[in-house]
A and B are shown apart, each in its own frame.
Chain A
């Protein structure tokens, strides 16, 4: 192939693939002076208090924040070189490999356990069971779910460890089990809670107490409301459970040097993980160096697999050799937390004009082997209830959480989202159809928007603990209208045939929408704020919600940011570095470096989940950077004999606004301070108050159904997000690609429970057992970023990593219904259900 020598070469540059950015008009007149102290109160033009936080420049003038750019090179480039330090890449001399023996029964006790043969096998160094597990972290003979840990074998190779694992002789006494939701709900269910009943019930003092449910909220009088309704419909939906599978095998490596432990973990925290490990081992936290720089995804789910960590550390101590665990997928998936199986019933009453006047929502959840209330009392589980009932005068929402012999429900890429919103998004579409309204119009009729208020009794009834003004909660920045309207434009909703299955021919296309309210990051308070002192005066719980950042200028003038957080593909340090660069007056990110993921190298931070990183580590980072900025200005003022107010800061140079020749640099100031100027900042939240701010997203889906075979394809997705100011649209676009595809998988591939043998899961053939979408399956995607500035946060940023993901499964279901008239109420969405529905009377041959 010849190349025209005159043709100029294409320049390879980072660019957004397909993202629409809608800038909401700047309604607030932010001061552009910069350098506000955390205590400063900024006011709008009409003297209304906007925020107590450092706001920076209007978005149009920002140099780094808001610009698409590749991630921090020290973080991202090792991924392409095969040098990113996942725990699975740690290989040490004389290392032992651990293999687990797990329980095959949904519920059993260990009758007898003989490891003598295994211990004598070639290459075996240690076998850990309930008999010799550490007293600070014991194993029990009671096994309450399939896959529960029975033994760990450590040997010279994985194969030898497996050989020995096979030679362990275990006898089980199997017990009656309640491993499915149906079993757990049944009045005949075996007693899993010492006579208390498998339904977890709150104390009678709790305002949401109900003797027959776990948690109940009500508002108005639903009976009265139904009496006034013109149309009443009832719906039942089922969600079969799902899980986010991390790519990296869950596991860890432990190595002792004397009484000091170096531990390479896999999770979402450094210091809290270290604290848990220290407690389990009965040693001081300072004796552990906890390292976790890179993970091949975690999704929150992998955190639970850290239960193996103390055993790995114990075996390493006892044998005097490093020990490594890499769980195979079939074993791993019993331990990572899942989105639970649940059954949801609705009764909805609406007027002829479409307004819902009464709604009951009843959800039953299989919570797994734990004594937790879980979803039932979780604040964020109620987000979708809030989204659709803020204008509904009469409603009741009852949650039922059952202990069961199943995998524990818990955080799993958007806790409580997809699994709860599956039913809501199907129901809203079905109700829209019942009242004869377009699904988007029906949503617009009901969802809150900026200016909507939740009255005191409303939000108290729902048990939300918002930061309220005179008891009333305002929706400030909430792009509910835009995510629907802009998304509709982007997908071409006007070309949608509103008649389900209405398009002619064998291949029928359809469009559907789903919506999701969630939180835009766990916003909280940073040091210096009054509320910070109040919150930190109370116990926070193992450093969970307290985040620290250290920002340092070195003698070379470069800025080093230290965050004790692992990166699971989240690339949060990239966004944080942009904030630092912006706040220090840089026009590029080039002078910012990050050090992360190691308790020896960065100060204590909590666990990142659910958008806590940009907004809580972000609070710590911005606080530290702000302090550093003030520090640099003061030093410069001293050095230059100029008033602080008459100084400007740009690209590492501080100069007088009146006489630019009067200047100094970050490097010079650092050198004058023994080579380094350093500041620390902190951020904290409690899951109340400001932490419960709201974000909203929507997903528009176009599918094509083959009515002859039941096959279907996900053609296009338009994914809309209430982003606040998206700090780095390139990283955000990539992140949202993953979010949509993962939620697509949640809709179609549930936990592979065996439908006939309860308590059994099939994971024996890797990702054939649990199918992750491949390059052949993913839709074309367009992101719509609505830059709806958050008035109470730095630069107006929100985190939106989890805002929209709950909308996708319902959107797909709605699109399939629109395409071919088959409504799937029982998750997961499968080709069998589509063709069965078509044969039953949807359109098709």
Chain B
């Protein structure tokens, strides 16, 4: 792989300082599972100064808050989240979603922060093509073979889909994140964290974390009674593969009445796609077996499929129906 130099700071300030020094030549290194692919494929955009944040104090934890929510340190392994009894009890959908990410060995290495901030998996980028994300000024996916890894909901510069599962699941739970930078700690929702296809520090990213910032924590508000959620992921195999489409669904129920809803699709757009039209439609409806059919009519009206990926929309709708059906039956 590309030659790298590794810093091993023991404090956040030191890490931020090093990142500030090197600019976009440096990058945060935690589990490295995404980064190492890019280094092995020798992508121009892969940083060669790695700032290993694993030696920094306490960034790896799952803690209950006094109010009953949780705080999860960004260096917490995906496996720890998937196997957490605390999380399984409070947010079963989250645990179910995390169990479907990548593979067991990868979940042992990958961190929550790394997963949220992951690079896209478009075959052109990963194959070191000089596209928007790799030193060039073109999106090959927009004009190329875009059946799997490219957006069916439109794009601006980069059309690659946001491939992660953690973000859609967390958005459904109204999670927020903390980001440490030179001027302090920012807080924002996970939805705000990954708006997709953003120009930040002169490069296209799916997220808004800057070159000298570090994601430190994810906070999930306490689960309310009557909250039910589901997560469905459609992919060729039962492990490893990214979602061709995914649907995270959260319903705040009062008996069978939906007080509030969260509907987030993954794998179909440059960001986790929050379908507010369906959320609005579901409000005040009664959860029933045929609600699914009706909800679909409101879904993804803004779809803008590319040449090969119109079926992503059908799949996403099918997954939404499946989620509603599951929750209606439970």
Contacts and interface: CB of A to CB of B under 8 A. Distances in A.
Contact of A832 (B1, B41, B147): B147
Interface in B237-254: 237-242, 244-245
Interface string A758-771: 00001011011101
A754 B236 CA distance: 18
Contacts of B321: 708, 845
Contacts of A775: 239
A639 B293 CA distance: 90
Interface in B33-50: 37, 41-42
Interface string B134-148: 000000100111010
Contacts of B127: 762, 764
A836 B237 contact: no
Interface in B184-209: none
Contacts of B314: 709-710, 835-836, 839
Contacts of B140: 757
A162 to B, nearest CB: 7
A42 to B, nearest CB: 52
Contact of B311 (A708, A776, A832): A832
A774 B239 CA distance: 8
A571 to B, nearest CB: 27
B107 to A, nearest CB: 15
A97 to B, nearest CB: 14
Given A709-B322, A768-B240, A774-B238, A755 B311 contact: no
A162 B322 contact: no
B72 to A, nearest CB: 27
Nearest to A328: B40
A776 B321 CA distance: 24
Nearest to B41: A764
A188 to B, nearest CB: 22
Nearest to A708: B318
A754 B234 contact: no
A765 B240 CA distance: 12
A769 B147 contact: no
B123 A776 contact: no
B237 A773 contact: yes
A711 B237 CA distance: 10
A769 B234 contact: no
Q: A-side binding surface: helix, strand, loop or mixed?
A: loop
A600 interface: no
Contact of B145 (A754, A767, A845): A754
A333 to B, nearest CB: 13
Contacts of B307: 756
Contacts of B41: 764-765
Interface string A662-673: 000000000000
B121 interface: yes
A202 B318 CA distance: 53
Contacts of A142: none
A768 B241 contact: yes
A159 interface: yes
Contacts, number: 95
A765 B238 contact: no
Contacts of B242: 768
B291 interface: no
A772 to B, nearest CB: 9
B268 interface: no
A831 B244 contact: yes
B144 A776 contact: no
B128 interface: yes
A58 to B, nearest CB: 46
A371 interface: no
Nearest to A753: B145
A706 interface: yes
B276 interface: no
A485 interface: no
B42 A756 contact: no
A159 B237 contact: no
Contact of B318 (A709, A765, A777): A709
B40 to A, nearest CB: 9
A756 B143 contact: yes
B1 A159 contact: yes
Interface string A154-169: 0000010011001000
Contact of B236 (A159, A709, A748, A845): A748
Contact of A776 (B234, B239, B322): B239
B319 interface: yes
Contacts of A765: 37, 41, 121, 123, 126
A709 B268 CA distance: 14
A159 to B, nearest CB: 7
B123 A762 contact: yes
A764 B128 contact: yes
B322 A708 contact: yes
Contacts of A769: 123
A655 B160 CA distance: 78
B238 A776 contact: yes
Contact of A754 (B1, B128, B144, B237): B144
B123 A764 contact: yes
**In this complex, which of A748, A749, A839 has the most chain B Cβ atoms within 10 angstroms of its Cβ?**
A839
Interface in A133-176: 159, 162-163, 166
A837 to B, nearest CB: 10
B315 A166 contact: no
A768 B314 CA distance: 23
A768 B242 CA distance: 9
A835 B128 contact: no
Given A764-B41, A764-B123, A764-B126, A755 B308 contact: yes
Contacts of B156: none
A709 B127 CA distance: 29
Interface in B1-45: 1, 3, 37, 41-42
Given A764-B128, A768-B241, A835-B311, A756 B318 contact: no
Given A710-B318, A764-B41, 9 more contacts: A166-B42, A708-B321, A708-B322, A755-B144, A755-B145, A755-B308, A764-B128, A768-B121, A768-B242
24 contacts: A162-B1, A166-B42, A706-B322, A708-B318, A708-B321, A709-B314, A709-B315, A748-B236, A749-B236, A754-B144, A754-B145, A755-B145, A756-B144, A756-B307, A762-B145, A764-B127, A768-B242, A774-B238, A777-B237, A831-B234, A832-B311, A835-B315, A836-B311, A845-B293
Q: Which 4 A-B pairs have the closest CB atoms?
A: A776-B238, A709-B318, A708-B318, A764-B127
Interface of A: 159, 162-163, 166, 706, 708-711, 748-749, 752, 754-757, 762, 764-765, 767-769, 771, 773-777, 830-832, 835-836, 839, 845
